[in-house]
Structures are given as C-alpha cells and as structure tokens.
Chains A and B, each alone.
Chain A
Amino acid sequence: MIEDFLKMHGKCYYSTTANPCIGGTVLDIAREGTILEKEELTTNIYEMKLYAPKIARAAHAGQFMLLMVDEKGERVPMTMVDWDSTQGWIDIVYQEVGTTTIKLTGHGVGDRLFYVAGPLGKPSRVGKFGRVVVIGGGVGVPAVYPIARTLKLQGNYVVSIIGAKTSNALVYEEKMKEVSDELIVTTDDGSRGLKGFTSDALRGLLLNGQEFNAMWSVGPTLMMKACSDVAAGKIPNSFASLNSLMVCGVGMCGACRVTVKDKILLTCVDGPEFISYDVNWKELAIRLKSYMREETVSLEMLRGADKL
C-alpha cells in the first residue's frame, strides 16, 4: 500500500533543503492523515500506519501525536511507535476501549482521518546509561518499543520486561526481542512467560543482584507506579511516560496536569516522560477517572447507532 500510495501521489516529503514543501502544498495537506495500513495484532489491539510526513520528519522516541477521527471526534493522543521520515509515515498502536478507538477501527486503508498533529511532547531522555531496564505493559509495549530501540542503538545493554493480562493480549514480543539484549515476558495468569506482573519480574531481577543505571516504564498507571516503587533507591534514573487525559496537547488547557515534585506540570508539553519518583501517582489515577460516566453514555450512543 505504501509503495502504491507513493507512486500515485509522487514524493513530496517535508524537507529542510532547498525548495521544500514546508508550508504545505495543497496536495500534501489533502493527503495527510490517510490510513496506509491497518492490522489487528490481537483481539482488540490494532496497529495503524498513517501518512503524516510532517510529523514523521520531526519525530523522536517518546513523543506522541494527536488525532481526530472525524469532525465530531475527540482530540486523542497516541504514542508514535515507529515512523519513517523519508516515506512520511507513522505507526500507532491502540486498544479498542471507547468511542474514539471503535470509530478508528471503523476506518480502513485509504480513509483519511479528520486531523493529525505532532510530534508533541518532549523526546524521551534516552542516552548512554550502560545497563538499562525497559518495561512495557499492554499497549504500553509498543509505546516503549521506540525507546528500547533507541537505547539499543545508543549502545546500552537493554533488559526488557513486557507484560499483559494473558498471552492473547501480548503484542510486540518479537519486535521487543530484536532490540533487547534480554527479554522477560510476564502475564497475569501465567499463560505465557512468568506468572505475575512486570513489577514482580523487576523485583526478581533486583533481588538477584542485577544493577541498572536507568529504567523506562510505559503502561497502565498502576503498573508504572508499582515498578517505580520497586526501583526506588535501587535504580538512580527512572522515567515513566504518563497517560493523562488530554484535550489541547499544546499546553494551553491544563487538562493533563500532573503534580511532579509538588509542582503542577502539563503532561503534553512538560512530559509525557517524567522522573517516576517525583510523580504524584494517586492524583494521576484520580484524574484518569474523571469521565467514566460520560464514556459509558458515549459508548451506549455509539452502540445504539450501530443497531439502527
């Protein structure tokens, strides 16, 4: 699809060299947000390749993008899992959980999303740390993948721990294996790898006397908090990529605010990566629960419309 698409539309990538397309030709903007590929990785978890040259050209590990499925949609942040600046695409992985993601799945290859913007947030603070541990849970595994890949490229010794509820919900195992020196898999029910949580595996490594200079974790709030608690006092640098609710994504609305070291910061522009030991996890969990009732209403309406 990508090759056909590029053949059809010619190559007008965003570049900073002479006579670039910065500022956007009409054609470019008309194609931005087109779905190039869509794959169901496992039940309810999808990978989508989007044509977004101006985002891809500037993307860094740890950053995210915003999309709106249609004119009436929400502005939803998505971690960029992979990208290619010359071909002009980005990959996202999402779990179908609510109105937006169900609508997203309803779109297929060739369809165009209403709006995409990015890259957003600060790049991950990857660098040469030596021995590092990278932890991903659920759809946090694809999200942590570009961080692990960059760390590996930078010459770190990468130990990865990835986890899911059951083996069927586990994604990106192969990809993580490619960029890790060691890979540990956990499932809550023991259907694959170790039985337990990623934080249990981390505790095991540390009890065995393994040492790490840095840790990254991306996943559910509870998982990141648990890993942070286990690592406290043992791993000097610990980073977590937060999943706050967002609206604007550019630092003006304050929806994604989080208390870090007693200061109110914004996940979208000050993060999404913060030093995990400084994050007020309890507050983050509270704010994530803000719209549980409304989300049900929205879903019910969507499902009702489907029945008609």
Chain B
Amino acid sequence: MSKVGKRIQARTRPACERVKDFNEVELVINEEEAIREAARDIKYCVAPCMNRGCPVNVEIPTMLKLVSQGKIKEAYESLITRTPVPSITGRVCQQEVQCEGSCVLDRLGEPIAIGAIEKFVGDWALENGIEVAVSSQKKGKSVAVVGSGPAGIVVASELQRAGYDVTVFEAFHEPGGVLTYGIPEFRLPKRIVRREFEKLKNIGVKLELGAVIGTTYTVDELLKNFNAVFLGVGAGRPMFLNAPGENYANIYTANEFLTRVNLMKSYKFPEYDTPLHIGRKVAVIGAGNTAMDAARSALRLGAETYIIYRRGRAEMTGRAVEVHHAEEEGVKFMFYSSPSEFLAADGINVSGIKIMKMKPGEPDRTGRPRPVPTGEIVNFDVDMVITAIGFYPNPLIPGMTPGLKTDDHGRVVVDLEGRTSISGVYAGGDIVTGESTVIEAMGWGRRVAKTINRDLSRT
C-alpha cells in the first residue's frame, strides 16, 4: 500500500445473511471513519472528481476538507448546493466511474470513498434534522414540477430555495419516481426517500399525489396556473422482446415486478394486498442495473435466480458493484443466451424458455461485439420470467400535449438549456435522454432549474 493510506471499507452485510431480507446491504460508515477517510485527501489536488467526474459538480474537495475537520453540518450545506439529496446520491451514484473513478488517488493507491462519505453526511443531516436555507426573497412566481423522480426533486429543491413557489405533481401514491418504485429497499431504503420529501415539504414545496398530468390536468392547464412547467416524467414504458409466448402468466417486465415489490410491498404479501407470484426458478432477461435489482429481489423472495444475457460478461451494462453483489448473493449468469420463445406446459403459466445460444461477432454501433446466433437452441425450465431489456420515454404527456415536439424515439426535444418547443415548458432527465442514471437526471434538473430561474427573472 502506498503512502496515500488505505481506503475505508464500508461494512457490507454478509451475503448469506442479507439475501434473507430486504434491509440495506451496505451499512453507513460512522463519523470517526468519515473524518479519517476524508483526511486522506491530498493538498493541491485539481479535483477531477468534481470537474470531470460528477454530473452535478459536487464541490468534493470542500466537502472532504469540512468533514476532515469534523464540520459535518457545514459539509452538508456545501453538498446541497449541488445535490439536494446526498443520502440518496451517496447510495445510488456510480461513484466507481464518476468521482471515485476520476480520483487522483485511484492512480496512486485507492480512491477516496467519496460515496460512503457523502452518504454519511446525508444521513447525519437527516438524523440531526438540519434545516435547508431558503431565500428570504420571495419571487412571487410559481413553478409546476411534473414527476417526483430524481430530476423533479432537484428542480423543486433548487427553485423553492431560490424563492419560487413550487408544486410537485406525482401520479403514484408515494413520491420519488424510480427511487420509490424501481430501486429496491436493500439499495435505497424508502424511509430515506420519504424523509428527503419531508425536507422538501419543510421548505415549502407542495406535493400533489394522484395527479396524472395529461389527463387529470393537461400541460396547458398547468401553464395557465404556473409561470413555468417542468416535465421530469422519466423513461418508464418497458420494451418487450416480442418473442412468442411473452404474455403467458408469470412473465413480468422488470418494472411490474419491481413496482409490485418496492412500491406495493408485495414481498410482504398477504400483509399487503398486492400479490406476486414467487417462482422457484426465475430467469431475468438482460444485464443492466434494472436486471440486477430484479434478480437480487427475486433471490430474496426465495427463488433460484438466473441472469440470461445475449452478450458476454464484459458487455454487461450493470454497475460493477451491483453485478458483484448479485454474484456474491448467488445469482447465476448465463451469457451468450437469447430467449427465442417462452413455453407454457399448461397453456397458462410459463414453464420454460427456448434459448438461442449466441457467439460474439463483429463490433456493433456500441463498439461491443454483436451477438450472433449459433443455431443451437436449448430448453431452460423456469416458472417465472422477468424481462429487463430497457425502457422507452413515458408516452402519456407527449401523447396528450399538442405542440410538444418529440423525436423518433419519443423523447421530448429540448434546447441545450432544457426548453421544449412550448414556451414556458421545460423538460429534463430520462424523458429527454431516453434512459440514463439517477445522477444524470439530477444533472439535468440542475441545468433546467438554472434556465427557469434565468427565464423567469427576465419576465
């Protein structure tokens, strides 16, 4: 180990223990550990973590300096100028390719555990009830935020703090978007999401649940009642394989499976009313983060779980640490395997998959070897399937909003600063990019909040 010291290891619950419940896998470090880890920061560092690594440019050197001095409250105040929800971003960001991936210490030894420190600071602030400062200067203007996911949270927080009156509209009965329905409890406890929303309410953000924009209120109606409208409705419409038999019972999209488990708490059925079929042997199709979340959830429900992927191990799109956790917990991987048909012995419930074995071919558009069918087909017996092959942007609002320009993929078209084709309507996050990460959506939120503030200050 080099002179830069050894990186703190956040305690991870042993795989054999954590697969039995939905409690958080990685435990939060304590204050003493955070201070010690933050003190590893080197002087005169050019902070590539902040400038190149972080989509929202968190002032990481400042945070580390303050934490190393034990000034946790000040560190939190610095953090929330860039990410309003450090307890969430500290948990779900891909630090290994972002801040920690660009850390200078990564080359000298081990990168600083920025994510673990951020999570500690965020949780510390929640536990100690640290209030967020709001501008005393009221702007006298209102903003409607549609969707309470990552992009919406940032826009709501930034604009309310800047003195606007913000109302967040959410279709579901719980706020948080993908943080609530998508990311499982064991990666992001829902009490954290709820507490972050309590904080938003404390600074004056209004939240209206059960409001489906497009039908309950149209965008046009919102425009008549608010000075600006932000669309952050995400990419939630699941893609289908379009393979024969895909609609047999017990074949779920990852979104349905995760929504049942996370939002509806089906894992506590029948205490909670929403049922879920619990398979003995489950195949998850796909190898992204959503697939890992689905596979690890299925595992916790007691199923023998397989990831079925048409490409190879190196091409998986899931975060390395999630893949590692999944493997550690006992998820099995089948590479170069592509489902060609789903079978149901009783004509109702899925009982097996016909899998076409693939092999790597020439590189495709993404630069990865294109999977090519070998002609060999194997039958694989399962009693439940979860498809996790990607999402389209939510079509509900574009479909109900004449004049809102979208591209061929259904994404809302915006200029570089987040303005849509309708004056006063802005958009950001997955509805604009297609499919991305929580922190990328938050980056959009920051950008668009600035634009809205600038545009509304002019009028």
Given contacts A22-B225, A72-B265, contact A251 B173 (CB under 8 A): no
C-alpha spacing A68/B173, complex, angstroms: 9
Which bracket fits the contact residues of B? 35 or more
C-alpha spacing A294/B269, complex, angstroms: 9
Give the number of chain A interface residues (Cβ < 8 Å): 52
Stretch at the interface among A175-183, A190-198, A253-261: A253-261
Given contacts A74-B274, A286-B249, A291-B277, contact A253 B255 (CB under 8 A): yes
Q: Mark A144-163, 1 if CB is under 8 A from B, else 0.
A: 00000000000000000000
Given contacts A118-B216, A247-B259, contact A294 B275 (CB under 8 A): yes
Q: Are the C-beta atoms of A295 and B275 separated by less than 8 Å?
A: yes
Q: Are the C-beta atoms of A294 and B277 separated by less than 8 Å?
A: yes
Question: Whose C-beta in chain B lies nearest to the C-beta of A26?
Answer: B206
Q: Which residues of B contact A169 (CB under 8 A)?
A: none
Stretch at the interface among B9-17, B76-84, B188-196, B236-244: B236-244
Q: Are the C-beta atoms of B259 and A117 separated by less than 8 Å?
A: no
Whether, in the assembled complex, A283 has its beta carbon less than 8 Å from a beta carbon of chain B, the answer is yes
C-alpha spacing A73/B236, complex, angstroms: 23
Q: Are the C-beta atoms of A250 and B242 separated by less than 8 Å?
A: no
Partner of A291 from B208, B259, B275 at Cβ < 8 Å: B275
Within 8 A of A (CB), among B168-182: 171-173, 181
Partner of B259 from A54, A68, A248 at Cβ < 8 Å: A248
Whether, in the assembled complex, A100 has its beta carbon less than 8 Å from a beta carbon of chain B, the answer is yes
Within 8 A of A (CB), among B183-234: 206, 208-212, 215-217, 221-222, 224-226
Q: Give B19 Cβ to nearest chain A Cβ, in Å.
A: 23
Q: Are the C-beta atoms of A298 and B173 separated by less than 8 Å?
A: no
Majority secondary structure of chain B interface residues (helix, strand, loop or mixed): loop
Within 8 A of B (CB), among A235-258: 247-255, 257-258
Q: Which residues of B contact A254 (CB under 8 A)?
A: 238, 240, 252-253, 255-256
C-alpha spacing A264/B239, complex, angstroms: 10
C-alpha spacing A297/B256, complex, angstroms: 21
Q: Give A227 Cβ to nearest chain B Cβ, in Å.
A: 23
Question: Whose C-beta in chain B lies nearest to the C-beta of A21?
Answer: B225
Q: Are the C-beta atoms of A99 and B249 separated by less than 8 Å?
A: no
Q: Are the C-beta atoms of B247 and A247 separated by less than 8 Å?
A: no
Q: Are the C-beta atoms of B236 and A99 separated by less than 8 Å?
A: no
Whether, in the assembled complex, A36 has its beta carbon less than 8 Å from a beta carbon of chain B, the answer is no
C-alpha spacing A301/B271, complex, angstroms: 8
Q: Are the C-beta atoms of A298 and B224 separated by less than 8 Å?
A: no
Q: Are the C-beta atoms of A24 and B173 separated by less than 8 Å?
A: no
Q: Are the C-beta atoms of A247 and B208 separated by less than 8 Å?
A: no
Q: Mark B240-276, 1 if CB is under 8 A from A, else 0.
A: 1010001111101101100110001100011111111
Q: Are the C-beta atoms of A118 and B212 separated by less than 8 Å?
A: yes
Whether, in the assembled complex, A275 has its beta carbon less than 8 Å from a beta carbon of chain B, the answer is no
Whether, in the assembled complex, A58 has its beta carbon less than 8 Å from a beta carbon of chain B, the answer is yes
Q: Mark B380-408, 1 if CB is under 8 A from A, else 0.
A: 00000000000000111001000000000
C-alpha spacing A283/B244, complex, angstroms: 12
Q: Are the C-beta atoms of B348 and A289 separated by less than 8 Å?
A: yes
Within 8 A of B (CB), among A282-308: 283, 286-287, 289-291, 294-295, 297-298, 301
Whether, in the assembled complex, A20 has its beta carbon less than 8 Å from a beta carbon of chain B, the answer is yes
Q: Are the C-beta atoms of A251 and B237 separated by less than 8 Å?
A: yes
Q: Are the C-beta atoms of B171 and A286 separated by less than 8 Å?
A: no
Q: Could you list 12 A-B pairs, sorted by A, with CB under 8 Å?
A: A73-B273, A115-B210, A117-B211, A118-B215, A118-B216, A120-B212, A251-B237, A252-B255, A253-B238, A254-B238, A294-B269, A294-B270
Q: Sort A-B residue pairs by CB-CB distance and give the 5 closest, nearest first.
A: A252-B236, A294-B275, A117-B210, A254-B253, A253-B256
| Beyond A63-B215, A269-B396, A297-B275, 11 additional pairs, beta carbon < 8 A | A54-B217, A68-B173, A75-B274, A115-B210, A247-B274, A250-B172, A251-B395, A252-B237, A264-B240, A283-B247, A295-B275
